[in-house]
Amino acid sequence: MSRSVGTSARTRAVLVAQCLIGALLVSGCAGGLWSANGVRREADEPAPQPTGACPVIEGQPEPTGCVAYDGNALMQGNEAYRQRRTLTDDERAMLEPQRQAALDALATVSHDDLGATAVTGALEDAGFDAQRVVADANHLDDLTVVTVIITVPGGCLVGSASDGGSEMDTTGTIADGGCVTAPGH
């Protein structure tokens, strides 16, 4: 039995070529009208891409061709960390002994020594942690006012001491968990 070598090699070459062309068409590498998922390429038009950011203005249609944003909402969100939590009546009652202790300590500071250092020292002598006390002295003409913020478990004590007397109130922490915003904010 004789076999034709040329025909067999040619047949194999044609089969290999057909397999390669078929594989390219199925994978989408050969181009054409059909993509790999079987959808016609004309239907695959790209979606328009935003070119920038546009503010949303109340009473006007939402802009197209850009990413819309609400500037007022962004500004409110930017300042949200400064918002103080409202204390419940029970929380205020729990903080009342500390508020009274701070007020009593401020009353011990003499008017001649009135300043941030003397106020912090008096509060420390009353049992408050000096690292949790922020005292700032302001001098206006002949009047000295020392503002005080004390971080205590469950809230904040906020008040002042001046030549005219002292005051202290209880308040909640700001949204980031402290009583005082970070420097520069």
DSSP per residue, 135-154? EEEEEETTEEEEEEEEEETT
Query: Residues 117-139: what's their mean pLDDT?
Result: 94
This prediction's pTM = 0.58
Query: Residues 70-77: what's their mean pLDDT?
Result: 78
Residue-level pLDDT at 107: 92
Residue-level pLDDT at 22: 59
Reported as a pLDDT band with limits 50, 70 and 90, residue 137 is very high
Query: What per-residue string of b and e applies to 149-164 under the rule 16 or more CB within 10 Å gives b?
Result: bbbbeebbbbbbbbee
Angstrom distance (rounded) from CA 110 to CA 152: 25
In this structure, how many other beta carbons lie within 10 angstroms of the beta carbon of residue 86?
Answer: 9
Reported as a pLDDT band with limits 50, 70 and 90, residue 47 is low
Reported as a pLDDT band with limits 50, 70 and 90, residue 58 is confident
